[in-house]
Copies of this chain bind each other. A is one copy, B any other.
């Protein structure tokens, strides 16, 4: 009776809901997706969300956490690999940071996570704050240490600021395709912007910013 399900592990239904949530949230944003849309797209009953997750918000946070965890793992792995080599360069560090967002095959997860992070900046909740401090902050410290190696001239304080500005730039510039349309209207001769162009421009921008 009314037994609370704190964290369901594996279930066909749960997987389908998370998959549907990622797809729909990426396209419309989670506040514009009703549970009825979500569950009918997933092929499950409306009540399934509350049964398996407890509430819509907890489902949203589960998706957010999954995504953040994935990106943090990618980054930390890449960073460790770089640090096993003997010479660390600024470009390598920046690329490893940007790649999970704008790298090949990562476009969708990057855009979705960017939306979440922007959303979290505007309207944070206890749950999203928890995810940030649990996953993002530890990764941030490792990256700041790496930047300290390749930018020895910058003070600790400067490094932290620039790191934060970098994350904001990356997230804001990866969310949605507004940027491409804006580019076209500001520079019609440049033509349409491919995702690769954006990534390379972003990397150049960030490398400059850390010098």
User: A residues engaging B (CB < 8 A)?
Assistant: 29, 31-32, 115, 118-124, 132-133, 137, 140-141, 144, 156-158, 160-165, 168-169, 171-173, 175-176, 178-179, 182-183, 185-187, 189-190, 198, 201-202, 204-206, 208-211
* Chain B residues near A168 (CB-CB < 8 A): 168-169, 172-173, 179
Q: Which residues of B contact A201 (CB under 8 A)?
A: 157-158, 161-162, 165
Kindly identify which residue among B31, B115, B160, B189 contacts A183, using a CB–CB cutoff of 8 Å. B160
A123 nearest CB across to chain B (Å): 6
Known contacts A164-B183, A190-B157, A209-B205, A122 near B176 by CB under 8 Å: yes
With both beta carbons as reference points, the residue of chain B lying nearest to A115 in the complex is identified as: B122
A123 and B156 form a contact (CB under 8 A): no
Q: Which residue in chain B gives the minimum CB-CB distance to A184?
A: B160
CB-defined contacts of A141 to chain B, threshold 8 Å:
186
Do A205 and B122 form a contact, CB below 8 Å, given A144-B186, A186-B144?
no
**Which residues of chain B come closer than 8 Å to A32, judged between CB atoms?**
123
- Contacting residue for A172 out of B161, B169, B186, B210, CB 8 A: B169
Q: Which chain B positions have C-beta within 8 A of A179?
A: 164, 168
Q: How far is the CB of A18 from chain B (nearest CB, A)?
A: 21
Measured CA separation A163–B179 after assembly (Å): 11
Q: How far is the CA of A185 from the CA of B115 in the complex (A)?
A: 23
Give the interface centre of A115, A162, A172, A204 by most chain B CB atoms within 10 Å.
A172
List, sorted by A's number, 5 A–B pairs whose CB atoms are closer than 8 Å.
A29-B123, A140-B186, A161-B205, A162-B205, A208-B211
